[in-house]
Amino acid sequence: MLLPLSQLPELSPNRQAFPLVEELLAGSERFRIKVHIQNRVTVIDCGVHVAGGWEAGVLFASVCLGGLARVKLHWLEFSGLRWPAVEVVTDHPIRACMASQYAGWPLENGKTLAMASGPGRAIVHEGGLFEALGYEDHSETAIICVESEELPTEAVVQSILEECQCEPTNLYILVAPTASQVGSIQIAARALETGLTKLMELGYNLGKIDSAWGTCPVAPVACDTLSALGRTNDAILYGSTVLYNLRDEESLDSLVKQIPFCSSQEYGRSFAEVYRDCGDFYDLDPLLFSPAEVWLCNLNNGRSFHAGSICPDILRHSFGLDTKE
C-alpha cells in the first residue's frame, strides 16, 4: 500500500519537464535529433532516423523522470575497467520514478509493440499504480516518452492525444529505440525505478521512501533490438547500485536481502538467456527486475542495510568487452 502523493501543482511532472523539452526543441542540431509535426502534435525523434547522442540521452531521461531528478553522466569502475554510467539523484522518488518514469503503457505501433512512459502518464492516471498513488497531474501540457524502433503512426498519436485529453499543440512525444545511444542512457537511468518497483512487488509501502540515489553503467549500443534489450537489462541487473533514504520503524535486514538480483533463481544468467527461455517479455516474473546492489538507509534510527553486488564478468561478456577473440 502506498501513501497517496500530495497534489502539489508546482511539482507537476509535465510542467517541470517542459523546459527540458523546450531545450531539446531549441537545440535539435546540437542534440542530433529531429522534430516532426504530426497532426499538430510535436514528435521528437531521438534515435529512430537520427543519431541522437549523450546529451540527448540525458535530457530524454530527465524528461522521463518528470524534471524531478538530476541526471548526469560519469565514469564507473568495475574489475579494473572504467566505463560510462548514468547517475540519478532525486528528492521526489515516487513522483519522479513511479508517477512519471514507470513504463506501464504498451502501444501497438504498426507491427511492433512500443512502451510509453513519462510525465503524461500522470495525466492519464490509469491502472492500479495510480489508484495506490492517489495522484493525477492536472496539466494542459502532456509529455510522453516512447521506446520504439519506429516513430508513432498517426493512429498511435491520435490514441495518445485522446488519452491525454489535451490540445494537439500541447502534446509532445519523445521517441528513442532500445538500440540507440539515447535508448541505452534512458534505460540505465531506470535503476532507481527498478528498485522501487521491486519493493512494491514485495509489498513494501513506498510512501516510506524519502529520497534516492542510483548509478548504472550505460550499455554499449547493440546492433539490433533483441541484443539491446539484453544488454540494457544486464546493465541494471548486474551493474546498478541504488540507495534509498527511508523512514521505518521495522528492521530492514530481511527486506534488503530480497531486493537485489542476486536473490533471484535466475542470477548468473544473462537477461538474453532468460528472455529466450521465456519467449515473451510480458511472461517474465516481475520479481526478476532488480538492481544489482542496494542500500537502505533508515533516517529514523541512523542504521543502513546493504545487499547485492556488481557482477563485472557478466557485464564484460554482455557488453562485448571480452578481450579474447
For 48, the grid coordinates are 529512430
Please, are residues 185 and 57 in contact by the beta-carbon 8 Å criterion? Answer: yes
pLDDT at 230: 97
For 61, the grid coordinates are 531521461
* Structural domains in the chain plus CATH codes: 9-318 (3.30.1030.10)
In 3D, which of 211, 274, 276 has the Cα closest to residue 247?
Answer: 211
pLDDT truncated to tens, each residue of the chain (325 aa)?
455 676 676 799 999 999 999 999 999 999 999 999 999 999 999 999 999 999 999 999 999 999 999 999 999 997 788 999 999 999 999 999 999 999 988 898 777 788 999 999 999 988 888 888 888 999 999 999 999 999 999 999 999 999 999 999 999 999 999 999 999 999 999 999 999 999 999 999 999 999 999 999 999 999 999 999 999 999 999 999 999 999 999 999 999 999 999 999 999 999 999 989 887 776 788 889 999 999 999 999 999 999 999 999 999 999 998 755 4
pLDDT at 325: 45
Please, are residues 59 and 26 in contact by the beta-carbon 8 Å criterion? Answer: no
Written as one letter, the residue type at 65 is: L
Please, are residues 161 and 124 in contact by the beta-carbon 8 Å criterion? Answer: no
pLDDT at 109: 76
User: Residue 9 CA to chain centroid, in angstroms?
Assistant: 23
Q: Cβ contacts of residue 311 below 8 Å, gap of 6+?
A: 238, 239, 292
**Strands across the sheet with 70-78, in order?**
70-78, 81-90, 209-217, 241-246, 293-298, 304-308
Q: Cβ contacts of residue 160 below 8 Å, gap of 6+?
A: 41, 107, 116, 120, 144, 152, 171, 173
Phi/psi at 205 (5° precision): -80, 105
pLDDT at 96: 97
Q: DSSP character for 263?
A: G
How many Cβ atoms sit within 10 Å of the Cβ of residue 30?
A: 12
In 3D, which of 211, 287, 204 has the Cα closest to residue 243?
Answer: 211
Burial of 6 (0-12, 13-18, 19+ CB in 10 A): exposed
For 203, the grid coordinates are 509489498
For 2, the grid coordinates are 502506498
DSSP codes joined into one string, 213-237 = EEEEE-PPPPSSHHHHHHHHHHHHH
pLDDT at 257: 98
Q: Cβ contacts of residue 85 below 8 Å, gap of 6+?
A: 73, 74, 75, 76, 188, 215, 216, 217, 218, 239
Phi/psi at 293 (5° precision): -135, 140
